C-alpha cells in the first residue's frame, strides 16, 4: 500500500518542525515541504545575517524538540565560536540549528520521504478525498492532507497613505526586504511601529549620522529581560483580564514584574480559552499593547543598543498616529498627530519602512493562497481577526462553519484560538500535536504510530 502524502505549505519553524515529526516514524507518510524562499527551515525570523539580531528568548528555552529541552544548548556547545551573548544567541545562528535538523532528517530518512519543493503555493483545491496544491511555476501536487504553515503575514498597509506610496521605491512594505535603504547619505527613515520588528530594522539601519524616527499609537518599546533568568513559574493563575491584571500588579509589588509575567506565561493558552468573546475583546482593546511589550522582551545587550541610539538622538520614538504618507520626487512627506494632541506635524524622510508587526486579518492580506482559500470558503477569519478560525480539534473552519477533512494549520495563523503562537516554545508543542493529529486522521484512528520528539535524533556535531 503506498504511503499517503502530506503537503506542508511553508518551511519556516512551524512547517519544518511539523515535517520533522511526520517523517520521524519510518512508517509515516511522504512529506512535500513547499517553500517560496530560497532557504528551507529559516523563515523570515531566522534568515537574518545580522549578528545584532538576537533571539528574544534565552537559549535554555529554545530547543526545537519538546521532549529534549537541552537539545539546543548541546548543539551550541558542539559548534565552537558561537557566543551566547549572556544567554541570547543571534537568530541567524538559530537558523543554522534548524537547517542542521533538516539536513539530519534528509540524511536519515528514505529518499522519497521528505521532498523539498522550492516554489510558491498559490491555490489549494479539494478533489474528492484528496487535495490538489497548485504552484506558481505551473506544477501541481496531489496530497492526502495539507498543513498551512505560512508564518507571519506582512504588516497591514498604513491607514491614510496615498495609494501611490505603495508603488514608490521609498516605501518598504516588507521590513525584512534585502533592499532596505542602507546608505546613510540617503537621509532619515521613518519606521512605522515601535515593537520588536522596529528594533531589528533600527539595528540594521543605524549608522553614524543617520536619523531614524519610529512612531506608533502609544510609542511603547519592548521591555528588557532581567540580567538572569526568572525563577520557574510557581502558580497557575486564572480569571478575567481585569483579575489577572490585578494579580500581576500585586505580585510585582513584592518582586520583579517579569516574574509575575513569567508565572502566567505557561498558562496563557488555557487562560485565553477560558475567556468569553467579550473578555478577549476587552483584552485586545485595552491590555494587549502592554502585554506585548512586557511579554516579548529584548535581550539586555539589544536594549542597551537601542537606549544608546535614543540617547544620541539617532533614534527618536514618538507616540502618535501617522495620518498621511505622500511621496515626493526625492522624499516622503509624513503627516502625523502626537498622541493626546490635535495639531498636525510634518516630517520629511527619505524612506518609510512598515514595522507594524504581527497581523492576521485575512481580509487585509495580499497573500494569494490565503486570499483564494478565503474566497473558496475553505477558511474564514476568527472572531477577532487574529488569523483563521479553528474547530475544537484545531483544524481550519470554512465559510460554512465546517472543517474540511485533511486540512490543518500550525503557527501564527492559529492565534485566534490560542493567542500565544509566535515563539518557539509555543510552536514546537503545537507542531508535534498537529503531526500526531494528521497521522491519526490518515490512519482512520489512533493505530498509526505517532511521530514523537524522542524519535528525532540531534544532528551530528
List of residues 6+ apart from 180 with CB closer than 8 A: 172, 201, 204, 205, 351, 353
Percent of the chain beyond pLDDT 90? Answer: 57
Going by pLDDT thresholds of 50, 70 and 90, the confidence category of residue 20 is: very high
Task: Tell me the sheet residues that pair with 376.
Answer: none
The confidence score (pLDDT) of residue 346 equals 95
Q: Give the model's pLDDT for residue 453.
A: 34
Say if residue 141's pLDDT is above 80.
yes
Distance, in Å, from the CA atom of 356 to the CA atom of 358, rounded to the nearest integer, reads 7
Q: What three-state secondary structure class fits 15?
A: helix
Say if residue 372 is in the same domain as residue 287. no
Q: CA gyration radius for the chain?
A: 22
Which pLDDT value is given to residue 235?
A: 61
pLDDT tens digits along 311-353: 999 999 999 999 999 998 889 999 999 999 989 999 999 999 9
Q: Using CA atoms, how far apart are residues 324 and 163, in angstroms rounded to an integer?
A: 10
Are residue 21 and residue 93 in the same domain, yes or no?
yes
| Any domain includes 231 | no
CATH of the domain at 349: 3.50.50.60
Please indicate, yes or no, whether residues 411 and 428 belong to a single structural domain of this protein: yes
Is residue 435 within 8 Å of residue 69, measured between CB atoms?
no
pLDDT of residue 457: 42
Section 410-429 average pLDDT: 91
Asked whether residue 232 carries a pLDDT value surpassing 70, the answer given is no
Q: Answer yes or no: is 377 within a domain.
A: yes
Q: CA 280, CA 15: separation in Å to the nearest integer?
A: 28
Domain match, 101 and 206 both: no
Q: Which of 295, 323, 341 is the last residue of a domain?
A: 295
Direct distance between the N- and C-terminal alpha carbons of the chain, in angstroms, rounded to an integer: 37
365 and 349, same structural domain? no
For 135, phi then psi, to 5°, come to: -110, 155
Mean pLDDT of 179-187: 79
Angle at 412 between CA 408 and CA 416, to 5 degrees: 80
Q: Report if residue 306 sits inside a domain.
A: no
pLDDT at 236: 63
Q: What is the pLDDT of residues 186-222, one digit of tens each?
A: 789 999 999 999 999 999 998 767 899 999 999 999 9
In the predicted structure, residue 242 carries a pLDDT above the cut 90: no
Which pLDDT score is estimated for 451? 36
Residue 307, pLDDT score:
96
Tallying the residues shown for the chain, one arrives at 461
Mean pLDDT score of the chain: 87
pLDDT above 70 covers what percent of the chain?
Answer: 91
Q: How far apart are CA 461 and CA 453, in angstroms?
A: 19
Domain identity same for 342 and 374? no
pLDDT at 452 over 60: no
User: Is 305 part of any domain?
Assistant: no
Residue position matching grid coordinates 565552537: 80
Based on the fold, state whether residues 184 and 258 are members of the same structural domain.
no
Residues 350 and 385 in one domain: no
| Parent domain of 392 | 5-153+360-455
CB proximity list for 257: less than 8 A, separation 6 or greater? 248, 251, 294
Strand partners, 172: 353
Task: Say yes or no: 134 and 42 in one domain.
Answer: yes
Q: Quick one: average pLDDT of 428-457?
A: 69
For the ranges 33-42, 93-102, 148-157, 272-281, the lowest mean pLDDT is seen at 148-157
Residue-level pLDDT at 344: 95
CA-wise closest residue to 20 among 79, 125, 97:
97
- Domain-embedded: residue 372: yes
Based on the fold, state whether residues 55 and 204 are members of the same structural domain.
no
Q: Does residue 190 fall inside a structural domain?
A: yes
Does 230 score more than 60 pLDDT? no
Note whether residue 123 is domain-resident. yes
Query: Is the separation of the CB atoms in 258 and 265 below 8 Å?
Result: no
Q: Mean pLDDT check: name the lowest of 55-69, 251-265, 428-442.
A: 251-265
Q: What is the DSSP letter of 129?
A: T
Summarize the confidence of residues 139-145 as an average pLDDT. Answer: 96
Taking alpha carbons only, the member of 107, 102, 104 closest to residue 16 is 102
The separation between CA 196 and the C-alpha centre of its own chain, rounded to angstroms, equals 11
pLDDT, position 111: 85
Higher-pLDDT residue of 160 and 405 is 405
Domain match, 344 and 425 both: no
Answer yes or no: is 70 within a domain: yes
Q: Retrieve residue 420's grid coordinates.
A: 500565544
CA 317/CA 195 separation, integer angstroms = 11
Q: Are 55 and 109 part of one and the same domain?
A: yes
**Average pLDDT estimate for 262-272:** 85
73-123 pLDDT, tens digit per residue, is: 999 988 856 666 668 999 999 999 999 999 999 999 988 899 999 999 999
What gap in Å lies between CA 193 and CA 212, rounded to an integer? 12
- The domain total for the chain is 3
Report the range out of 167-176, 262-271, 371-380 with the highest average pLDDT.
371-380
* Residue 153: per-residue pLDDT: 83
Whole-number Å distance between alpha carbons of 168 and 328 = 9
- The reported pLDDT for the residue numbered 374 is 95
Task: Report whether pLDDT(460) > 70.
Answer: no
Amino acid at each position: 500500500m503506498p504511503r499517503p502524502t502530506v503537503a506542508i505549505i511553508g518551511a519556516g519553524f512551524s512547517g519544518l518542525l511539523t515535517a520533522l515529526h511526520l517523517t520521524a516514524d519510518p512508517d509515516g507518510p511522504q512529506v512535500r515541504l513547499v517553500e517560496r524562499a530560497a532557504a528551507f527551515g529559516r523563515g523570515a525570523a531566522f534568515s537574518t545575517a545580522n549578528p545584532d539580531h538576537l533571539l528574544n528568548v534565552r537559549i535554555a528555552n529554545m530547543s526545537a524538540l519538546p521532549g529534549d529541552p537541552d537539545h539546543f544548548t548541546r548543539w551550541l556547545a558542539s559548534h565552537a565560536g558561537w557566543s551566547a551573548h549572556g544567554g541570547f544567541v543571534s537568530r541567524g545562528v538559530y537558523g543554522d540549528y534548524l537547517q542542521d535538523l533538516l539536513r539530519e532528517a534528509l540524511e536519515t530518512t528514505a529518499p522519497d520521504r521528505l521532498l523539498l519543493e522550492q516554489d510558491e503555493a498559490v491555490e489549494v483545491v479539494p478533489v474528492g478525498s484528496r487535495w490538489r496544491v497548485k504552484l506558481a511555476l505551473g506544477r501541481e501536487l496531489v496530497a492526502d492532507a495539507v498543513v498551512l504553515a505560512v508564518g507571519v503575514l506582512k504588516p497591514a498597509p498604513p491607514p491614510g497613505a496615498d495609494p501611490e506610496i505603495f508603488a514608490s521605491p521609498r516605501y518598504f512594505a516588507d521590513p525584512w526586504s534585502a533592499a532596505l535603504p542602507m546608505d546613510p547619505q540617503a537621509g532619515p527613515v521613518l519606521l512605522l511601529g515601535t515593537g520588536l520588528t522596529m528594533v531589528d530594522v533600527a539595528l540594521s539601519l543605524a549608522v553614524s549620522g543617520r536619523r531614524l524616527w519610529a512612531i506608533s499609537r502609544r510609542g511603547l518599546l519592548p521591555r528588557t529581560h532581567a540580567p538572569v533568568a526568572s525563577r520557574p513559574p510557581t502558580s497557575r493563575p486564572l480569571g478575567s483580564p481585569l483579575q489577572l491584571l490585578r494579580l500581576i500588579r500585586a505580585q510585582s509589588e513584592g518582586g520583579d514584574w517579569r516574574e509575575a509575567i513569567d508565572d502566567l506565561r505557561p498558562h496563557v493558552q488555557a487562560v485565553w480559552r477560558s475567556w468569553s468573546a467579550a473578555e478577549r475583546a476587552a483584552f485586545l482593546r485595552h491590555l494587549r499593547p502592554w502585554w506585548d511589550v512586557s511579554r516579548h522582551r529584548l535581550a539586555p545587550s539589544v536594549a542597551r543598543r537601542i537606549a544608546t541610539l535614543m540617547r544620541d538622538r539617532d533614534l527618536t520614538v514618538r507616540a502618535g498616529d501617522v495620518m498621511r504618507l505622500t511621496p515626493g520626487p526625492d522624499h516622503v512627506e509624513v503627516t502625523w498627530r502626537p498622541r493626546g494632541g490635535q495639531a498636525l506635524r510634518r516630517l520629511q524622510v527619505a524612506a518609510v519602512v512598515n514595522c507594524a508587526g504581527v497581523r492576521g486579518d485575512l481580509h487585509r492580506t495580499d497573500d494569494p493562497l490565503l486570499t483564494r482559500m478565503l474566497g473558496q470558503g475553505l477558511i474564514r477569519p476568527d472572531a477577532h481577526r487574529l488569523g483563521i478560525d479553528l474547530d475544537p480539534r484545531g483544524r481550519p473552519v470554512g465559510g460554512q462553519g465546517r472543517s474540511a477533512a485533511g486540512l490543518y494549520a500550525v503557527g501564527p495563523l492559529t492565534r485566534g484560538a490560542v493567542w500565544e503562537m509566535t515563539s518557539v516554545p509555543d510552536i514546537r508543542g503545537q507542531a508535534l500535536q498537529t503531526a500526531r493529529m494528521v497521522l491519526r486522521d490518515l490512519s482512520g484512528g489512533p493505530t498509526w504510530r505517532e511521530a514523537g520528539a524522542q524519535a528525532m535524533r540531534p544532528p551530528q556535531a
